[in-house]
Amino acid sequence: MMIRDMKSQTTQCLMAVASVLAMFAAGCSDKGKTIEPMVQRGDFGAARGTLMASLQENPENRDYMYERAMLAMAELADGVPESANRTMNEVYKILRTQGINADRTVAAVATFEHVRFWKGEPFEQALMWVYMATQRAMVGEWDNARAAAQESLFYLKSFGEFVGDDASSEELAKTAIEKEQTGASGDYLADGYEPTESTFVLGYLMSGIANQVLSREVSSLEAQAEERFGQVVSIDPSLKPLVDRFQNEPFNTVVMVDYGFGPSKVSYGMDNAFSRFEQRRGWSSDARTLKVSVNGSSTPAVLAVCDVNAMAADLMWNNLEDVRVAKSVLGTALLVGGGVVAVAADSNDARVVGLVLAATGLAMKASARADTTHSRMMPQRSYLVPLMVDDVDSTLEIEVSGDRASRVVLPAVDPPTDRSVQMLYVRLIPTRTPPSWTTAGKVLYANDHFDARIDGDDLPYILGGNCVRTPTAETLDRYQAAGNLTNMTLIDLQNLYRDEGIAWTIEESDFRAGQHVLEGGDSLIAPRPGSVGYLRVFCQPHGAYTPTSDRAKAFWSGGAATEADGSAGR
C-alpha cells in the first residue's frame, strides 16, 4: 500500500511538472536584436526590408504580432505611413482579439483559434494604439485617429491594496500563492485586483488633439477635447502649458517626436522565472525638454508626455501572464517539495525519490525561464508639439535639450493643403555619433514631395540623373522641356521602370513600400518630409544606379541623353 501511495504521489507530481512544461511555450524569435543596429544608425529602410523579408503570414504564429509591431514603427519612422496602413490593420485585428475584458482591463494574451501568442505588455499595447492613431492622422483620417487613441485608455489592474503598486512580479506571485493556499482567493491574479482608470497621458493627449481637430467641423466634439485635455493636466500638472497651446493657440501641424531606446526585458530570480524591465544604459529618464524651431523661429520648449521607462517599471502596466507562469513554477516547487519529504521518509524507494527530484529539476531548470520577448523599437520617451507651418519648403529643427547629437534638420516641410491639420512623426536616431545627413538640411534628389529645382533633375536617376519622381505625364514634361527623352511616351517611360522591376504605387507593392531605389531597392515611393527617412534617402548622396534591363543599359551606353530620340543616357 505504501509503495502504491508513493507511486500515486509521484504520478501527481510528474503531472504537475508536465503541466508547467506545457505552459512554457516557445517564446518569439528575437528579430529585434537584428534590426536594433539599423535603428541606431537611422536606417529604417533596412529595418523594414529585414522584417518584411521573413514576415510571418500565419496569425497563429507567435511572431505574427511581434514582427508587425516593430514593422509598423519602422514604417512610421521611415516616413511611409501609407505602407504602414496594411501593417496597422493587421495589428488592429490582433489587439482587438480578446482585447478588452468586461471590466475594461486589457487581456493579457491574445488567442487565435485556441493558439496563444505574443501580444505585448499592456504598456506596449497602449503605445501601439497611439502609433496607430498617429498613422491614421498622418494619412488624414483624424476620425480613425480619435478612435485608436481612445482604445489606448483601457483600465489597468491594480494590486496596490495588498502588494503595493511598486511591487515586483515575484512579490505579486508569492502573494497570489499565499492568498490561494489560505482560501482567500480562488485565482488571485484573476480576481484580486482593482480595475483602475488609465494614467496614460500620451493617450489622453492624442485623444484630445484628435477631438480638437475634428471639432473644427463637428462642434460637439469640443467638449470631449476639453475633457481629455483636463485629464492630462489632472494626471500631470506640469503639462498645462503644453495643453494650453493645443487649446488656445492656432496650429496646423502636430509633431510626435520619439527619443532614445526603451527599456529591456530581462529574466531574474529563481531559475530566471520572473521578468522585469530595466532602463538601458545611456537612456535613463530625466526632465529634458524638446526644442523645436520653424524656419529659424523657436517655439516654446516642451516636456515629454510619455516616459516608457516609468511605464515599464509599473506593475500595473505589465503583463500578468508572466506572473501567472512564474506563480505556477513556485507552486510546483512547493508541491514537489512536499512530495519529496513524504516519499523520502520511506527509505525503501529511493528510486521514486530520484524520479521526483529529476522531474523537479526538469521543470525548474529547463522550463522556468521567463519569456523576455519585447519590442526593441520602443523609444525611451515621446513628445507632442503643436506648430504653425505657413510657408512652402519650411525647415524644422528639432533637438532634445542637452543632447546635441539628437539634432535633426528637416527641410521641405509644407503647410497642409487638403486638411486643416497635418501629423508628422520624427524618430530621433538613438546614437551618440549621428550621420551627417541628419543636419545637412539640403534636398539632393528631386522627388514627389519637393517642387524646387535640383541639379540633374532633368533626367531619371535610373538613367544617370538626380530625379526619382514617379513616372507621370508631368514628370516626363520636365525631362522633355530640358531636351531629354523627347521621343519617349509616358508608356515608354513607365515600361522602362517596369523592365527594371521598380514599383511606384503602393498598390503594385502589395500595399507595403519596399526599400527606395536610391538605397538599392525597387521602390519609388518617397518618404514624407518631416521624417528621418526623408533625410536619409534624399539629403545625402547615393551611388550611381546600376541598370539591369537591356533597354536601360542601352541608355547608359548611348552617352547622349539629350538626343531627340531619347534613346541614350548620361
Q: Specify the pLDDT at position 139.
A: 96
Backbone angles phi, psi at 409, to 5 degrees: -115, 115
Distance CA 132, CA 143 (A): 12
Query: How many other C-beta atoms lie within 10 A of the C-beta of residue 349?
Result: 16
CA distance 537 to 544: 14
Cβ contacts of 493-498, under 8 Å, gap ≥ 24: 493/460, 496/460, 496/462, 496/471, 496/549, 496/551, 496/552, 497/462, 497/471, 497/524
Amino acid found at 529: P
Our CA dihedral for 155, 160, 162, 167, rounded to 10 degrees, sits at: 110
Given this model, what pLDDT does residue 258 score? Answer: 98
Distance CA 455, CA 466 (A): 7
- Predicted confidence at residue 193, as pLDDT, reads 84
Q: CA 110, 111, 114: angle at the middle one, nearest 5?
A: 165
Burial 74-89 (b: 16+ CB within 10 A, else e): bbbbbbbbbbbbbbbe
Give me the sign of the Cα torsion angle 59, 61, 66, 71. Answer: negative
DSSP tag of 537 = H
pLDDT of 566:
42
Report the first-to-last Cα separation within the chain, whole angstroms: 95
User: What are the helix and strand counts (H, E) for the chain?
Assistant: 20, 14
- The bridge status of strand 264-268 relative to strand 381-387 is unpaired
Q: What is the pLDDT of residue 307?
A: 98
pLDDT given for residue 114 in this prediction = 54
pLDDT value for 529: 98
**Which pLDDT value is given to residue 567?**
40
- Closest C-alpha among 533, 558, 401 to residue 464: 558
* Spatial distance between the Cα atoms of 365 and 275, rounded to a whole number of angstroms: 15
CA distances from 429 to 5, 77, 354, 521 (A): 64, 10, 55, 22
Residues 6+ positions from 234 with CB-CB distance below 8 Å = none
pLDDT in tens, the chain (570 residues): 444 554 455 445 444 444 444 444 444 556 778 899 999 999 999 999 999 998 888 887 878 888 999 999 999 999 999 999 999 999 998 888 756 677 778 765 555 555 566 678 899 999 999 999 999 999 999 999 999 999 999 999 888 766 766 777 778 888 888 888 887 777 888 888 888 999 999 999 999 999 999 998 888 899 999 999 999 999 999 999 999 999 999 999 999 999 999 999 998 877 787 888 999 999 999 999 999 999 999 999 999 999 999 999 998 898 777 777 777 766 655 544 444 444 444 555 545 444 444 444 444 444 557 778 888 899 999 999 999 999 999 999 999 999 999 999 999 999 998 768 999 999 999 999 999 999 999 999 999 999 999 999 999 999 999 999 999 999 999 999 999 999 999 999 999 999 999 999 999 888 999 999 999 999 999 999 999 999 999 999 999 999 999 989 988 887 544 443 444 333
